[in-house]
Amino acid sequence: MPGVSLKNIWKKYGGVEAVKGVSFDCQKGQFFCLLGPSGAGKTSILKMTAGVEEVTSGEIYIEDRLVNDVKPQERDIAMMFENYALYPHLTVFGNMASPLSSHIRKAKYSSNEIGKIIRETARLLSIEELLDRYPRQLSGGQKQRAALGRALVRKPSVFLLDEPISHLDAKLRHNMRTELKKIHEEVGVSLIYATPDQLEAISMADVIAVINKGEIQQIGTPEEVFDHPANEFVAGFIGEPPMNLFSCSLRKKTGELFLRIGDFELMLSQEVKKKLEEQMVSDEIKAGIRPTNLHVTKRKKDKNSIGTEIYVFEPLGRYSIATARVNNILLKIKIRGHFEATEGEQVWLNFDTNKFHFFETKSGSAIVT
């Protein structure tokens, strides 16, 4: 059963359409991620779901209940933004107690019950020793946990997180990704998580909705959006480094199908040839290939090897990123293991031609992926 359903949601600010016909289901207990760049409409979607902003048109359901006209405090939703907004004059205990002490809930809980709930939540978040501290005495990661605890004590049916860890340093972000995933599994609440970071989405989410300019581009599991992007935007947004995308043309010759990149030609496999012919694509298309499906060698490997030179070489420990120039196209290659190269060095670039993705030139929609 869906924990949250959005049906054809639109949001306009004056003449600006921030959200355009968005529909999706976050199943009960699911970790659902809204992934997109800044200004894509993620925060507007969360605010409309929480009820702090009105819906221009469309319907929002929480566990089959239409909530368009339901007040925020009556939606059984907890929301946490990037800025934690902890009360500076209250300790961590006081901040976590504040939702349970509000005029809506204070009759429901005794002081002993509030203390028990806070201690249980603090234990879950490993912040028991912080309960007597004030926000000014906390690190960024500790503030994040305190704000998370304040939201969790309410035991909402839906939890909304808006870029909660984007401003933390790399090590803290890594640790908090692990913690958030673990906490979600233990609590089992429906969770909608907004982020511009594709690594956060892929590592934590059960389902990802990729959004751009207020429109959903694709909804699927992390594997689906990575391996089978619905369009050029998704292909270029997901992956680190992102997919190499470039204009090219198709050419038939002696019963084979060739991909022409500037002055170079690559013979495509029979499997890819069949898929392209079934789609009846035009000769001018866009191609994409992941950096992991390109390989650099010091010697020519086969007839699909292209001679080129290293434009930039970045050793990063367990792997390296090489950028090679083919005509005027810069292609990134992810090289695992030990490999040494210098800028300007002549090398051979080898393509895994079964791993190409193809997109329509005008619409950007996937043809073969």
Cis previous bond, 135, omega within 30 = no
Count CB neighbours of 307 within 10 A.
Answer: 11
Q: Which tokens go with 298?
A: 């010091």
Percent of the chain residues topping a pLDDT of 90? 59
**Is the pLDDT at 282 greater than 80, yes or no?**
no
**Is the pLDDT at 107 greater than 80, yes or no?**
no
Cβ atoms of 96 and 121 closer than 8 Å: yes
271 against 280, higher pLDDT: 271
Domains of the chain (ranges, CATH numbers): 2-231 (3.40.50.300), 244-368 (2.40.50.140)
Q: Which tokens go with 223?
A: 């594997």
Any idea which of 159-168, 196-205, 282-291 has the lowest mean pLDDT? 159-168
Q: Confidence class of residue 230 from pLDDT cuts 50, 70 and 90?
A: very high
| Ramachandran assignment for 67, one of left (phi > 0), alpha (psi -120 to 50 degrees), beta (any other) | alpha
What digits encode the pLDDT tens for the residues 160-193?
A: 999 888 777 788 788 888 888 888 888 888 999 9
Single pTM value for the model = 0.89
Cβ atoms of 225 and 210 closer than 8 Å: yes
Q: Which tokens go with 19?
A: 């959200």
Residue 156 is predicted with a pLDDT of 86
What digits encode the pLDDT tens for the residues 12-23?
A: 999 999 999 999
Output the DSSP codes for 226-245.
HHS-SBHHHHHHSTTTTPEE
What digits encode the pLDDT tens for the residues 338-352?
A: 888 889 999 999 999
The phi and psi torsions of 117 (rounded to 5 degrees) equal -60, -45
**Is the pLDDT at 233 greater than 90, yes or no?**
yes
Residue 105 is predicted with a pLDDT of 58
Residue 106 is predicted with a pLDDT of 58
Q: Confidence class of residue 103 from pLDDT cuts 50, 70 and 90?
A: low
Instruction: Share the mean pLDDT of the chain.
Output: 90
For residues 118 and 287, what is the distance between their CA atoms, to the nearest angstrom?
Answer: 54
